[in-house]
């Protein structure tokens, strides 16, 4: 119960708003849409708890969530809350608290931060939501579409796509120089010069005759328009069959370069092989892909037991589950709805195999879990 109290603490504190895009005249609160982190200035009893707030497309607060240091989670359903944005001022109210204003904050110029404070402590029944220090900072969490993208060497991710790295991105050259392949080179003074027939450009000037006459270059260089420039490293290189010259060295050709496979096949080492029919198939929990189709997994543990709904209802009442999850198990002030919870999840939470904010039930059995799941399915 103490953990629930502490998590609830911050969740009330989480009641804030933070903008992203310029306020829309018809609905200024829409700038709050998205996910925000919430940090108390003085966490006190909720030290180590991480808080988030979620706003919908109309800027209304959907959820306040707290995750404890041990992984415990508490969620406050705020779907009936109201959010107001007036200029750079943001306020949020919860109808369940009889319209009590919980938070006032000021929106930053870039609309990614709100700094404000909770105005008072709120008492909900027997749960005192201890507000941590009153002062809170909301910061917008901007999702990076490149988080799960891995690019090849020489590439970088831009908006979810791998693109070649420009070797000149971070190179600054002197006046009269330009970046080429990551190196600063002197600009060609003849680049914009057009000469008459029988003339060539030398140092930006048109002169008669071949500009390379009398020019001697170092090994690995050739004269171009009177200037010595690096030669193609593959000039004069002859490779064996199945090889190509790259930067002056012979390397094996990709055996799949000239191979075209049928639909449902992929080239591997120069050969077309049949694709795995399950590669792009995602199945629901409790299912597995077989030959490209999702099939139900064989029942195990409490899932294989027949539950007694009446016994499950008694178990729910006897163990005080309604205090957090509501009389109808459809969600309470601090506990989420259990209506879609599986038997296996119930057993893991109550037996201690998985984290449960409300604690464990001594002596709980898989049959108890099956009974409770049967009652939940009947609602």
User: Model's pTM, two decimal places?
Assistant: 0.34
Residue 114: pLDDT over 90: yes
Cα 367 from Cα 356, distance rounded (Å): 19
Q: Please, how many CA atoms are within 13 Å of residue 368, restricted to the half-sphere of its CB?
A: 18
Nearest CA-CA partner of 19 in 86, 103, 77: 86
A 10 A CB-CB count for 336 gives 21
Domain with CATH 2.40.128 in the chain: 2-140
Q: What is the pLDDT of residues 13-58, one digit of tens each?
A: 444 444 444 544 568 888 998 888 888 888 777 778 888 888 888 8
Q: Which two tokens stand for residue 38?
A: 């919430």
Q: Which two tokens stand for residue 147?
A: 């988080």
**At 95, is the pLDDT very low, low, confident or very high (cuts 50, 70, 90)?**
low
Architecture category of domain 2-140 in CATH: Beta Barrel (2.40)
Q: What is the pLDDT of residues 192-233, one digit of tens each?
A: 888 887 777 777 888 777 777 778 888 878 787 677 877 777
Asked if 64 contacts 325 with a C-beta cutoff of 8 angstroms, the reply is no
Tell me the longest C-alpha to C-alpha distance in the chain. 106
User: How far is C-alpha 368 from the geometric centre of its chain's CA atoms?
Assistant: 38
Nearest CA-CA partner of 32 in 18, 42, 44: 18
- Mention every residue, 6+ apart, whose C-beta is less than 8 A from residue 194: none
State which CATH number among 2.40.10.10, 2.60.120.460, 1.10.760.10, 3.40.50.720 fits the domain covering 302-378: 1.10.760.10
Domain with CATH 1.10.760.10 in the chain: 302-378
């Amino acid at each position: 119960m103490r953990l629930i109290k502490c998590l609830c603490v911050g969740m009330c504190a989480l009641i804030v708003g933070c903008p992203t895009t310029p306020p829309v005249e018809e609905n200024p609160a829409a700038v709050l849409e998205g996910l925000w982190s919430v940090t108390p200035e003085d966490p006190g009893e909720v030290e180590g708890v991480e808080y988030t707030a979620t706003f919908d497309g109309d800027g209304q607060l959907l959820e306040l969530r707290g995750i404890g240091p041990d992984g415990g989670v508490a969620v406050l359903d705020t779907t009936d809350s109201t959010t107001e944005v007036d200029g750079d001022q943001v306020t949020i109210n919860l109808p369940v608290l009889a319209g009590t204003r919980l938070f006032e904050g000021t929106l930053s110029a870039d609309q990614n931060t709100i700094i404000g404070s909770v105005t008072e402590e709120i008492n909900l029944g027997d749960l005192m939501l201890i507000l941590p220090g009153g002062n809170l900072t909301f910061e917008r969490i901007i999702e990076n579409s490149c988080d799960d993208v891995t690019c090849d060497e020489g590439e970088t991710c831009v908006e979810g796509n791998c693109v070649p790295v420009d070797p000149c991105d971070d190179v600054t050259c002197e006046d009269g120089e330009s970046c080429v392949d990551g190196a600063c080179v002197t600009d060609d003074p003849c680049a914009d010069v057009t000469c008459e027939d029988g003339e060539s450009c030398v140092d930006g000037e048109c002169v008669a005759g071949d500009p390379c006459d009398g020019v001697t270059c170092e090994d690995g260089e050739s004269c171009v328009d009177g200037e010595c420039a690096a030669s193609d490293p593959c000039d004069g290189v002859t490779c064996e069959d199945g090889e190509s010259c790259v930067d002056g060295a012979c390397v094996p050709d990709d055996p799949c370069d000239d191979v075209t496979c049928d639909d449902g096949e992929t080239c591997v080492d120069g050969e077309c092989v049949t694709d795995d029919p399950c590669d792009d198939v995602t199945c629901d929990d409790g299912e597995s892909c077989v030959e490209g189709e999702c099939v139900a997994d064989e029942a195990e543990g409490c899932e294989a037991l027949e539950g007694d709904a009446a016994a499950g209802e008694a178990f729910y009442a006897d163990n005080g589950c309604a205090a957090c999850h509501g009389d109808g198990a459809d969600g309470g002030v601090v506990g989420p709805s259990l209506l879609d919870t599986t038997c296996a999840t119930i057993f893991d939470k109550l037996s201690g195999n998985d984290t449960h904010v409300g604690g464990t039930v001594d002596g709980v059995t898989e049959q108890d879990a099956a009974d409770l799941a049967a009652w939940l399915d009947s609602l």
